[in-house]
Structures are given as structure tokens and as C-alpha cells.
Amino acid sequence: MSSFGSQSDAVEHDDGPSQTTDYFSKLFPELRQKVYDYVFLSTRLTWGIRGVGTEPSDDVEIISKPNALALLRVNRQINSEIGDKWLHKVLFNFEEPEAMLDVLTAIPRDTLSKIRHVRVRGEQVPLTYYEGVGDETFYPLTSALKLLPGLRLDQLTVLGGLDANQEYRALSQLIEEGEGWKELRFISNDSGILGFRLHNPNGTPDREFHRDLEPAHWRRCMKSRDGEDSDCSVTVYRATVPAVLCAVINPNIREVFEQLVPSQHIPMNPSCQEPDQNMMDPYEILKEVLVVVKRGEGVDYEVKEDSPYAALDMRRALRGREWRDIRMESFYDIPQEDYPYSYEGSYDQLILDEFDVYTDAEDYVWTRFR
């Protein structure tokens, strides 16, 4: 996996004179800054393994093109003018939470605190014990963010795509316990997150994780965190067309969505457990959903070294160790110790590299989840 340093390395510069750079240097500084902003706001840096087929053997490691940060290497003047402001502009894109931890735990806290935009797939992080492949504990994205003290994003985007039950729980956990972001954007590939009915394996309603009417329930959660008088908010958008990739991030083909409160609504009302038949229609369920959550003004959302433990928190399993201490290149590298570990890949299978190709930095594709 390529490192953050290798992508941002700007030591070597081409300082030879050129007509193009000479013309560019004569522009007003304000205009040059607009060019820098345009370039970096259109750039994303990508790490991680993407499930592109139906089997793990189809997985590929997505990497950024070598020239992703070429502007930093044009010459020393441009590099000096840009400084570290590019960290505020580019999208740091991770195909899996483990890749996010690999990259962001390896950089200085001062650098981490300058990153403003991160996108990650909302998978859980499995930690494995040597004793057996099946002996795993799965930790939510909320827990992974707790390992990044200093993180203070303007925007965290999470790509769902899990089954509806897992998506609803993952988003609710981020709203109830998530840190490190001022604005959260959770994108689901269909409307099941709002229309499903939770069940236990025996077919009875799951009372522990029952579905509430949204976004009213999520708003109550945010107000309990940030204060009743804070300006925190939760807004749900739903695509107006089905099965169109990136539809819900296009303001022209989405609409605000709100589930209506049934009459005589009380907690645990069976009507909250029933599936929304309109939402679960084969045509309607294919419409993407975007949930935008904004923290209240003045709220300290930075991840702290001693941030409160989440309900299921990876730090308990690490017992004082760092992420790099438990990250193994292969399952077979895991020591025979009473500690959980994370390993890259799947039993030493060969994973090919593929360049990240996109038209807009915000574009996304839906993939197979682990």
C-alpha cells in the first residue's frame, strides 16, 4: 500500500525556466490561488482494497495516479505558495477503514489536524486472533475514528452499501457517538435504510435495534449531544430516479425526505417496526439516500486522546498498543499471542493494483462488501 508520504513528496522540483510557468508567475497572486484551489478541490487521493467482483479473488487495490499532486512539484515558487493548504482541499478517499487507519495513524498529529475532507466505506473492522479464522470481533467505523486523535474534519463522507440493518446501525452509531467531523454525509445505495424492518434470526422483531421514524429520531440524538438550542441538524435526501449512480449527490435529481409520524405514536409502536411498503417497492427501493448530519455551532468535535469509549471500542482490545503494532501483511504473520490483529489481503492472495479513475472527485461506485 502506498504511503501518505510517497504521494505528498515534493522535494524534487523542476526549476528550469519555461514559458508556461513564466506566464503563470505573472498572474496576480489571488488568481494563482484560485487555480490552486480549483486543482486541489478536484483531486482525490485513494488507498485501499476494493471489492470489484463477487469473490475476494476479484479484489483490486486502488491507488492514486502518480501525478495526483504534480502541481506541488512544478517549481519551488509554486510549492512555497501552496504550502500545506492543499491538505484542506483534496479528498482523502479510503476503500476500507483499515486503509484509513494505515495512512492517517502514520502521519504527525499536526498534519492530520489539517485534513478537512475524508471519504471511507462504512465497513466494520475485523480483528482476528491467531487461534482461528473464525475467532474475530468486528468493530464499527465509530470505533476506528477513535484511533485518530487530532482528527477534525469539515466533512466526513461514508459510503454505505451494506444490508439495511447494518447501515442503519452504522449511521446511528456515528450520530450517537461519532467524533472527528463537523459534517457527516452518509450515502446509501438504496432506500432500504429507511424502509426495512429489523428481525432476529427467529423472525421476530428486533427490539434492541428497532427502526425509528427518521430523521426525527436522529435529530433527537444530535440535540441530546449538542444541546437543545444548538443549530445541529439532520437532513435526509432521496434520489428521485432509481438505480442511477451518484444521483443523490446531484441537487437536480433529489428531494428532501421525511418519514411521517403515525397517529398516537408512542415508543415501540408496532407501526415503527413495520416496513414502509412504498419504500420497499422494487422500483422505489433502488433510489439512493443521503443523510447529512451537522454538529452544533461551537461544539468541540475533534478526536481526543482520552475521548469517551464507544459501546464497542477497539481501544479495549488494543490494550494500549498502536494500530501499527497489530497490523500484519498476512494472516500467517499473526503472532501466537492473546491479542487481536488486523491483516491485509486474504491469506496471501495476489491483489493487483488499479489506478483510481474519476471525472469528479465526489463520484463513487458501489462495491461488494466483506
Q: What is the pLDDT of residues 28-64, one digit of tens each?
A: 999 999 999 999 999 999 999 998 877 777 889 999 9
State residue 196's pLDDT score: 60
What is the number of H-type helices and E-type strands within the chain? 12, 15
Higher pLDDT pick, 23 / 210: 23
pLDDT of residue 56: 72
Which of 208, 190, 191, 186 is closest to 199 using CA atoms? 208
3-state SS class at 113: coil
Q: pLDDT tens, 303-341?
A: 999 999 998 999 998 888 999 988 876 666 666 666 787
User: Residue 9 contacts by C-beta under 8 Å, 6 or more apart in sequence?
Assistant: none
- Rounded to 10°, the helix 216-226/164-177 angle is 20
26-35, 237-246, 259-268, 347-356: least confident range: 259-268
Q: Can you give the pLDDT at residue 319?
A: 87
Residues 36-51 as b/e (b if ≥16 CB within 10 A, e otherwise) read: beebbbebbbbbbbbb
Q: What is the pLDDT of residues 252-309, one digit of tens each?
A: 999 999 987 654 444 444 545 556 667 778 899 999 999 999 999 999 999 999 999 9
Cis omega (within 30 of 0) for bond into 215: yes
What is the spatial distance between Cα 180 and Cα 169, in angstroms, rounded to a whole number?
Answer: 19
Q: Is 82 exposed, middle or buried (0-12, 13-18, 19+ CB in 10 A)?
A: buried
Look-up of cell digits 502541481? 71
DSSP 8-state secondary structure symbol assigned to residue 313: -
The cell for 88 is: 484542506
Would you say residue 109 has pLDDT above 90?
yes
Task: Summarize pLDDT for 116-173 with one digit per residue, the tens.
Answer: 999 999 999 998 876 654 578 899 999 999 999 999 999 999 999 778 888 999 999 9
- The model's pTM is 0.89
How many other CB atoms sit within 10 Å of the CB of residue 144? 23
pLDDT digits (tens, 9 = 90+) for 71-86: 999 999 999 999 999 9
